[in-house]
Structure 1
Amino acid sequence: MIRQHLKTVLCSYSEICFLNHWGIGLVLFALTLVNPNVCVNGLVAVLAAYVAAQFLGLDKAFLASGFYTYNPLMVGLSMGYLFRISPLTCLIVALAGILTFVVTHMMHSISSYYLRLPILSLPFVLISSLAYLASARYSNLLVNGLYEHAFGNLELYLPVWFSGLLKSLGAIFFMPRVEVGLAMLVLFFLCSRILFFLAIVGYYSGSLVTALLIGSFHQAFTNANHFNFIWIAMALGGIFLIPSLKSYVIAVVAVATSTLLLHAMEVFWASYGIPGFALPFNLVTLAFLYVLGVTGFPLISQVIKATPEATLDHYLTVTRRFKGTWRTLSLPFAGAWTVWQGPNGQWTHQGAWQHAFDFVITDEQGHTFKDEGHNLTDYYAFGKPILAPIRGRITGVTNTLTDNPPGHADKANNWGNLVVIQDPRGFWVELSHFKKGSIVVAEGQWVEKGALLGHCGNSGYSPQPHIHLHVQATETVGSATLPFSLVGFTSDGQYFANDLPAEGAVVEAIVPNKTLTRQLTFLLDQTLNFDVFRSGQLLDTVTWTVKMAWDGTFYFDSGKGRLYFGIHECTFYLYHTEGYDRYLNLLQLALPRLPLYYAPSLRWEDHAPSSALQRGFKQTAILFFSAFYHKLNCISVTCAWSAPQQICGTVTASCLGAPMCTQVELDPENGFKHLVLDDWEFKRSAPQEVNS
């Protein structure tokens, strides 16, 4: 327990640099020892906040990171920069730390709920400013607490443009010394090349703009407040936005605009005798994030990992693996149908109704009817069953409109006979152009996915029998459509788990295979044992144990790492890894997903993160340069059924020479029996064990 508390306190230090790891925090804490006053007061503030959190019963929330305690830490560091260690100073710092924690918790709750914005270091700016102002009234503190700062001589031997960078880095921890800044620069380089790059770009872009405005490069490079430029560049270029060339441009523009605020702040706060702290960083970063969020900027980070490189790798992998949306629908029919019109189609799927699909049935010649097509019964789709694409409650039914003769349309009743279903996930699905009198469900009725709704007709604005499908935000018939995607279908011999078929594609819904579902359903505490071979030589024996995370997600635990997996919408997924285990990475490479459906030679495609294939300098270089060109980091996995229980695949990557060949054989009872990936081979060595 004590070890966990120490890790949490140390994470408060690393959070200041947008890095959440206790080891990094330990290094940063060691740097504060250069100035014992800063070190002790910072520690007093963060400990006071942590004790207050425990007293209020919130300690469990802080065992994972230092998110709520890095602001109190910064307040303590700022007070330590001004006042020497004394019982009176420690009392004031402890009170300020507790107040900062309370304000942090309050501001986070308000900002995350109403603005969906981080609070950054606003609580620190607010409380530190108040503490500095209040200290002017504490005569006892001013007499006994103020002290002179010692400065090293190393900066005398460095050019001002370089010493200015180092002192600005050190100023982040209220130690504007080149030794501290140099150590932090090295730390950034070791932890994240992207943050290292952004720190340099942010500082020099802001300082150059400042030099042009004030007419003095020397004065610009000696201003320690330019740490704001470093923070802005790192926050916008690598943390809250996905690292990319566009994000870097936004970061530089934000830094340039912040010079106006920084200089105005220096003039204003100077009259009160206090520094402006990180106010420019907070205001500019939050303003840009808010505008980007309102305008729907696509590169806002939805998941922030330990480093910008990890965030970028996760983003690229997820966007390539899961192309669809969270509004997922199954195909509303059985058998093979053709996409007649897709989203943003050339006829009726425009404007507010652009997100929709129309389906017809075609023959080998591409015709939708037999004979001359003069009669509705000549059309292959007419009278075919329409199935519920989701589970939900029926909120709207129209069933009395007459079917149009082929080539004619009812302009007065665009949607024709229809069914509207409310999905529990918060949206409505409309299916239109049913055959008159064929709908077999009623308003208020609950239906499961795949239930019969009615039969395909030609009512409404429909020149030929077809099924119209769209998602909308309200239950009102014909409401504006929302983006959605289709799950669990095949097209041209390829399986799609969650995607949007193209116009003209022939699609067919799959029915999950019960045997495959059983084989890939794992029980808690079940173990899978494998002998690991490389080039035919026994290398290792591994055991993977099935565990469950706090959110209900299952994972394979090897003791070194975790590989999360699950079944969703007709597909078995190996989602992602935590920690580092080479064998789990190889498993994910060999079979990142598997449809719960077998058809001879059925193929599918997926992607894997670079961490599953690369390690060390090569992965570091790929991730750094892929921020400028995302396609540089792309690992594709193509798989196909080669036999009822066997899958063959190929792994290709832009950073890989020859493709890697994979082969996976399923165990008839459960799990995997045999895996091959190039010269690596895994053989199931013992039966599974299940604790009942």
Structure 2
Amino acid sequence: MDRLKEDIKSLLSSYSEIFFIDSYRVGFILVLITFFNINLGLSGLIALFSAYTFAKFLRMEKEFISSGFYTYNPLLVGLSIGYLFKITPLTVFFTFASGILTFIFSIMLFSLFSYYLRLPILSIPFVVISSTIYLSVSNYSNLFVNSLYPHINFSFLENYLPIWMTGYFKSLGTILFLPDVMAGFIFSVIIFSVSRILFFLSLIGYYSGTLASGLLTGSLFQAFSDISHFNFILISMALGGIFLIPSVKSYMVALTGVITSTIVLSAIKTFWALYGIPAFTLPFNIITLTFIYVLGIVGFPYIARIIRKTPEETLDFYLTNLKRYKGSERTLHLPFSGKWTVYQGFDGKWTHKGGWKYAYDFVITDEKGNSFKNDGLNLEDYYAYRKPVLSPVRGRVVKVISDLPDNPIGQVDRENSWGNLVIIQDPRGFYVEISHLSYRSIKVKEGDWVEVGSYIGLCGNSGYSPQPHIHIQVQLSDNVGGYTVPFSFVDYICDGKFYSNDLPVENSVVEPVFPDKSLELKFSFVLDNSFEYQIFREGKEIGTTRFTVKMAPDGTFYFDSGRGKLYFGKYEGTFYFFRLDGDDEYLKLLFESLPKIPLAYRKGLRWEDHIPLRIVTDRLKNSLILFVSSFKHNFADVKYTGEFIDSRKIKGRVQSSVLKAEKEYYVELDEFLGFKSVKTEDVEMRLIKIEYK
């Protein structure tokens, strides 16, 4: 029975995917609407069923076909056939075969587009196969004789609405081959209820494209009567809210795409008319794919790397992660132990310029901010001199220079600017250079493998160095002093605050921290572990909930409650809750009470994080705030502050300036694994038992 439910959800999702919506519930409504024309509705289902059945016959993975992304093209082809021909045994056979053909063609195109172009296939299979079908049926006289039928439209609304409104609704309805005001009106209500951003984009797409077309043709009435302008709606939604992060810039790109598509649409209609074929969605595919490809080449910053269920969710995910993960993927540990001071950072005021701007210098200072004692005239006066230098990464040592003398204070070696150094090749695809080490203090040799924290040598004053300090940079070659690239530091403390992945500012005092084994074990969740909690609301027990550890196809673990999935993982000494799918209120409570925790304990240690807006707001507020945020990305922020009370107790605070709200949370860790209790003002979860599998 569960298998049948999943199959039905997958089929329904194919309908919603046509409007860029991931919802089987919306898909169910769309199925019903297609039965405004029973031939249309049945043909769509037949083509979809044939494609889905064939996919299962080929034993394709469940995840590959369950979303509906790969089966909405056969659905569109079925609808296009149903729009032409009524249901007969002959058209059923024809539709069934066409559905399979479209699915096979979709898989082939997907493989080519994803590998060579890194582009989605959109509805290209539908355009190609439907055009082929429309050409082929001219030879199938039996279809024309027995299967053509007149269309009945619910046209009474057209008598009460102006042409500029009926044109929008009919164009919207045409997306599912229902060029009818009633169908289009229902579609608009569905889009508005799911996503205000998509609804807004549908409006600006249609009206900007139609007005541009009217100006070019000289007839606004003709422009508003052209139902092929549904292409403008699809282009606007795809560029403005699906494949780009919703923003003022994405809206401008969408507007530009729609305006330019008027030329493409006119040309295609003229050429296709020679063969009696409608334009279908060809203009939408050409413009959307061209823009996405070009924007990718030029490095447009608002390309959506991860697309969520709605543009609002994509925007929320993007904005939250932008704040949560400030650092880069080239992560380094600090190359020392104890407290050091940032002497110079990226694009520093002295030597970190041009191709060498991505570098950091560290010294040791006293309570007065001085890096030396006495008069600072001797090397031994400097606190950093001959202090241990540690490996910031794990990797292979590829270059060592160790026989250059330490410069006396007041002198520099201009010929050997980098001084004594070690270059380490990181397996992640970059090199780390650590420079200005002390004369013959380096204890590693070329070819050695080092781990994070391995002893390398001593801090010195060799090369172009005004005082003893550690210089560190990341580059893409093993050349001494190569051009630098951005990086960031992980697991350090500054002013009593823990930073998981960031860049300390100049003159700040930083100290590395290392994972606590006991804390790491508390967050080492094993597949199929189950955690059962009692739930109390305002002190009264109201029931229980259970979370089970599962693993996603990409290897990410998550807590599954049956009503939601909370994804988590450990990365570079920090435990994170990455994201929440679904609406389970107790998984939400877990997320907002502890979105991340350093796996290193110090009493009173604080840290900051950010929480997705959807976790702390209801759907209506979330939708409205994110719509405004699409115009001003810093409009809303939900900030989390955590603090260790002791080794097992954490106090958290969530604040939001837009919501004007503040909430406190208390989390107690279990002695062995996971969370013993999670408590807020009115709700508490208490661990009853853990089941190990």
Report the counterpart of residue 107 of structure 1 in structure 2. 109
2:342·2:506 contact (CA, 8 Å) conserved in 1? yes
Q: After the TM superposition, which of the residue ranges 403-412 and 258-267 deviates more from structure 2? A: 403-412
Match of 2:16 among 3, 14, 17: 14
Report the counterpart of residue 200 of structure 2 in structure 1. 197
Q: Deviations over 1:190-229 (max 9, x none)?
A: 2212111211121111111112222222111111011011
Q: CA deviation at 1:382?
A: 1.8
1:659 is paired with a residue whose SS is strand
Q: CA deviation at 1:687?
A: 4.4
Are residues 1:667 and 2:670 paired?
yes
Are residues 1:221 and 2:232 paired?
no
Q: After the TM superposition, which of the residue ranges 139-148 and 469-478 deviates more from structure 2? A: 139-148
Match of 1:492 among 495, 501, 504: 495
Report the counterpart of residue 536 of structure 1 in structure 2. 539
Distance 1:655 1:63, change over 3 A: same
Q: CA deviation at 1:533?
A: 2.8
Report the counterpart of residue 326 of structure 1 in structure 2. 329
Distance 1:363 1:680, change over 3 A: same
1:129 is paired with a residue whose SS is helix
Match of 1:613 among 616, 628, 634: 616
Report the counterpart of residue 274 of structure 2 in structure 1. 271
1:643 is paired with a residue whose SS is coil
2:533·2:689 contact (CA, 8 Å) conserved in 1? no
Report the counterpart of residue 230 of structure 1 in structure 2. 233
2:209 is paired with a residue whose SS is helix
Are residues 1:562 and 2:565 paired?
yes
Q: Deviations over 1:615-640 (max 9, x none)?
A: 23222222222222223331111122
Q: CA deviation at 1:314?
A: 1.2
Q: After the TM superposition, which of the residue ranges 420-429 and 491-500 deviates more from structure 2? A: 420-429
Are residues 1:135 and 2:137 paired?
yes
Match of 2:151 among 149, 152, 163: 149
Q: Deviations over 1:276-319 (max 9, x none)?
A: 11111111111211222122222111111111111111112111
Question: Could you tell me which amino acid in structure 2 is paired with residue 456 of structure 1?
Answer: C
Distance 1:455 1:525, change over 3 A: same
Report the counterpart of residue 401 of structure 1 in structure 2. 404
Q: Deviations over 1:154-189 (max 9, x none)?
A: 223221111111110111011111121111111112
Q: Deviations over 1:318-362 (max 9, x none)?
A: 111111112211111111111111112223322332222111112
2:100 is paired with a residue whose SS is helix
1:266·1:276 contact (CA, 8 Å) conserved in 2? yes
Distance 1:535 1:632, change over 3 A: farther
Report the counterpart of residue 164 of structure 1 in structure 2. 167
1:174 is paired with a residue whose SS is coil
Distance 1:114 1:432, change over 3 A: farther
Unaligned ranges ≥5, structure 2: none
Distance 1:244 1:191 in 2: 18
Match of 2:427 among 420, 424, 427: 424
Q: Deviations over 1:483-538 (max 9, x none)?
A: 22111000011110111111111111002222222333334443434333333333
Distance 2:658 2:540 in 1: 27
1:232 is paired with a residue whose SS is helix
Q: Deviations over 1:520-567 (max 9, x none)?
A: 333444343433333333333333333333333333333322222222
Question: Could you tell me which amino acid in structure 2 is paired with residue 437 of structure 1?
Answer: R
Distance 1:475 1:137 in 2: 67
Distance 1:149 1:547 in 2: 50
2:398·2:478 contact (CA, 8 Å) conserved in 1? yes
1:551 is paired with a residue whose SS is coil
Report the counterpart of residue 456 of structure 1 in structure 2. 459
| Runs of 4+ residues deviating >4 angstroms | none
2:306 is paired with a residue whose SS is coil
Report the counterpart of residue 372 of structure 2 in structure 1. 369
1:50·1:59 contact (CA, 8 Å) conserved in 2? no
Q: CA deviation at 1:571?
A: 1.4
Are residues 1:250 and 2:253 paired?
yes
2:536·2:683 contact (CA, 8 Å) conserved in 1? yes
Report the counterpart of residue 308 of structure 1 in structure 2. 311
2:360·2:471 contact (CA, 8 Å) conserved in 1? yes
Match of 1:470 among 468, 473, 494: 473
Are residues 1:680 and 2:686 paired?
no
Match of 2:301 among 271, 293, 298: 298
1:243 is paired with a residue whose SS is coil
TM-score, structure 2 normalization:
0.95
1:119 is paired with a residue whose SS is coil
Q: After the TM superposition, which of the residue ranges 481-490 and 418-427 deviates more from structure 2? A: 418-427
Question: Could you tell me which amino acid in structure 2 is paired with residue 296 of structure 1?
Answer: G
Report the counterpart of residue 552 of structure 1 in structure 2. 555
Considering only aligned residues, what root-mean-square deviation do their CA atoms show, in Å?
A: 2.0
Q: After the TM superposition, which of the residue ranges 130-139 and 632-641 deviates more from structure 2? A: 130-139
Q: After the TM superposition, which of the residue ranges 168-177 and 6-15 deviates more from structure 2? A: 6-15
Match of 2:585 among 577, 582, 586: 582
Are residues 1:345 and 2:348 paired?
yes
TM-score, structure 1 normalization:
0.95
Distance 1:525 1:119, change over 3 A: closer
Q: CA deviation at 1:658?
A: 4.1
Q: CA deviation at 1:665?
A: 2.5
Unaligned ranges ≥5, structure 1: none
Q: After the TM superposition, which of the residue ranges 444-453 and 470-479 deviates more from structure 2? A: 470-479
Q: After the TM superposition, which of the residue ranges 504-513 and 105-114 deviates more from structure 2? A: 105-114
Q: Deviations over 1:63-103 (max 9, x none)?
A: 42111111122122222222333343334333333332222
Are residues 1:637 and 2:640 paired?
yes
1:488·1:497 contact (CA, 8 Å) conserved in 2? yes
Q: After the TM superposition, which of the residue ranges 215-224 and 111-120 deviates more from structure 2? A: 111-120
